[in-house]
Structure 1
Amino acid sequence: MDNYQPLACDLYDYLEIACMHRYQLDIELVDGSTLLGQALTTETTASKEEFLLVRTADGELRLRMDRLLAITPQDAGASFGRVLLSGNRC
């Protein structure tokens, strides 16, 4: 796996908010694929890689944050709209 590129701190905050509210997210990945999942939590490994954990129809997934292109909450009244994550690295 290639070297992890951390997310900019202000963008990481959107993921934390999504997890706190358990938003249903439309998630766009840098490889062009998309998925729908409920934001559960974030985690950081000992090697400093950061992941977003989501619940999908197929179960829980662990998505490395530098593989995320954008997130869009699907919940009515969400506190933010589509957030572009790719290209916004520390």
Structure 2
Amino acid sequence: MSDYRPLACDLHDYLEIACLYRYWLRIELHDGEPFEAEAVTTETTASKEEFLVVQVEGASHRLRLDRLRAITPCGTGARFGRVELE
């Protein structure tokens, strides 16, 4: 059994918008230093764990959604500001 805690449904919209427009995000994790990455897509595994797929310096990384503390678009004209995902 997984210890995954699903993200609230209304918060998924922000991730989908970020991926749709390929926003560069400042990503804050519960454990680790903030970093910037390009939002690519979201994925759900067979065990119902959800991930944000980002690209950093040409490499793709999967970030489990319940490990995310907050996201903030880096560019101008974004459709949202900083979003806390807790």
The answer to whether TM tops 0.5 is yes
Q: CA RMSD in A?
A: 1.4
TM-score normalized by the length of structure 1: 0.90
**1:8-87 paired onto structure 2 within 5 Å:** 8-57=8-57, 59-86=59-86
TM-score normalized by the length of structure 2: 0.94
Distance 1:8 1:55 in 2: 24
Distance 1:33 1:62 in 2: 16
- Range 56-65 or range 38-47, more displaced: 56-65
Moved over 4 A (4+): none
Q: Which runs of 5+ in 1 are unaligned?
A: none
- Deviation of residue 32 (structure 1)? 3.8
- Deviation of residue 34 (structure 1)? 1.2
Q: Which runs of 5+ in 2 are unaligned?
A: none
Distance 1:65 1:33 in 2: 16
The structure-2 alpha-carbon separation of the partners of 1:74 and 1:29, relative to structure 1 and needing over 3 Å to count, comes to: same
- Deviation of residue 33 (structure 1)? 1.8
- Deviation of residue 69 (structure 1)? 0.2
Distance 2:58 2:2 in 1: 26
- Corresponding letter in the other structure for 2:79: S
Distance 2:12 2:73 in 1: 15
Distance 2:22 2:76 in 1: 12
